[in-house]
Amino acid sequence: MRYLITGGAGFIGANFVHYLVEHTDAHVTVLDKFTYAASAASLADLPGNRLTVVRGDICDEGLVDSLTRSCHAVVHFAAESHNDNSLEDPSPFVRSNLVGTYTLLEAVRRHAVRFHHVSTDEVFGDLDLDDSTRFTEQTPYNPSSPYSSTKAGSDLLVRAWVRSFGVTATLSNCSNNYGPFQHVEKFIPRQITNLIDGVPPRLYGSGRNVRDWIHTGDHSRAVMAILEKGVSGETYLIGADGEQDNLSVVRELLRIFGRSEDWFEHVADRPGHDLRYAIDSSKLRRELGWEPGHHDFREGLEDTVRWYREHEEWWRPQKAAAEARYRSQEVAR
């Protein structure tokens, strides 16, 4: 089996590449533009005979065509992924998330190659804090940010290419991932690396916003289950019943670091900040037999803190630039 993994040098893509190398005999080709969000170091310890890394853009039609022609399946992780950046400059989001997905779809259509599209629960918009309902495969799309609206558009392109052109494709929409190799711009790694540096965590607004956390290893296993058993044209929601408000996550991290529970700073809220995400993943569990392996969020956070403590050489080069970007975004708000 030969897989083409787009965005394989980013957070979730790299974790999935590690999963493939460890659990299958497949050959993996990574296509990644190596934006600021990528890290070659995330793939550095993988065996060269199992992995080919190609530096390139998913919008490059010729390159995408030649790589797609020689693989059995494309798993599409590549995207501009950070909401805060999409509020500052939406243009790379429109290009990579929409034009990039279109370019890949045309290539898999030409070469009759299986496609899996990795997407987000943010396409559904948000839920009220006092609402107990969760997103299902039937929830209407209602994205809030430039990031989530481009992901919603890319999902719709995939569905149209299945229906209109007979492309063999599945889709998944997952909740917030945490774990190793996540860029320090994201909430959990930002606060962990702040705490390592003796800087208080930064909480947007009230901190009551809820995210539904899943360990990235469970996301990898779910994508594999969909590749092996998923039905073309179907969408699968991926989530592990991990709802936490942001304040609780910060307090858990402060406890892990032995700091007092109020050692954090409130900063200006994200414009249009989604209130709550929550996934009902019964379809994935019932039809494909997937179950999350990580059930204890505190334990998962402790492992993640340990990983960032032990891999400072991985994240340190990104940290100053990420914080400088946040300072300029805070001024703009």
Is there a contact between 294 and 182 (Cβ–Cβ < 8 Å)? Answer: no
Residue nearest to ligand DAU (CB): 120
Interacting residue with ligand NAD among 18, 109, 134, 183 (CB under 6 A): 183
Give the 3-state secondary structure of residue 177: strand
Residue 186 Cβ vs ligand DAU, minimum distance, rounded to whole Å: 4
Residue 122: active-site member: yes
- Residue range at the interface with ligand DAU (CB under 6 A); choices 28-36, 66-74, 81-89, 315-323: 81-89
Cα 329 from Cα 333, distance rounded (Å): 6
* Alpha carbon 313 to chain centroid, angstroms: 22
Burial (CB count within 10 angstroms: exposed 0-12, middle 13-18, buried 19+), residue 279:
buried
Does 277 help bind ligand NAD (rule: CB under 6 A)? Answer: no
Interacting residue with ligand NAD among 37, 107, 123, 224 (CB under 6 A): 37
Tell me which of ligand DAU, ligand NAD, none is bound by residue 211, counting a contact when its beta carbon lies within the kind-specific cut-off of 5 to 8 angstroms.
Answer: ligand DAU
Burial (CB count within 10 angstroms: exposed 0-12, middle 13-18, buried 19+), residue 45:
exposed
Which of residues 118 and 224 has its CB atom nearest to ligand DAU in the complex? Answer: 118
**Could you report how far apart the first and last alpha carbons of the chain are, in Å?**
48
Residue 279 Cβ vs ligand DAU, minimum distance, rounded to whole Å: 9
Does 73 help bind ligand NAD (rule: CB under 6 A)? Answer: no
Phi, psi at residue 169, to the nearest 5°?
-145, 145
**Residues that contact ligand NAD, how many (by CB under 6 A):** 31
Interacting residue with ligand DAU among 15, 120, 149, 193 (CB under 6 A): 120
- Residue range at the interface with ligand NAD (CB under 6 A); choices 83-91, 124-132, 173-181, 262-270: 173-181
Interacting residue with ligand NAD among 29, 83, 86, 96 (CB under 6 A): 96
Which of residues 97 and 194 has its CB atom nearest to ligand NAD in the complex? Answer: 97
Helices and strands counted in the chain (H then E)? 12, 13
According to CB under 6 A, which residues from 197 to 216 bind ligand DAU? 202-204, 209, 211
Interacting residue with ligand NAD among 83, 120, 144, 246 (CB under 6 A): 120
Structure-block tokens of residue 327:
């300072």
Cα 228 from Cα 186, distance rounded (Å): 30
Of 98, 188, 191, 206, nearest to 143 (Cα)? 98
Axis crossing angle, helix 297-310 with helix 312-332, rounded to the nearest 10: 110
Residues that bind ligand NAD (CB under 6 A): 6-7, 9-13, 32-35, 37-38, 57-59, 77-81, 96, 100, 118-120, 151, 174, 176-177, 183
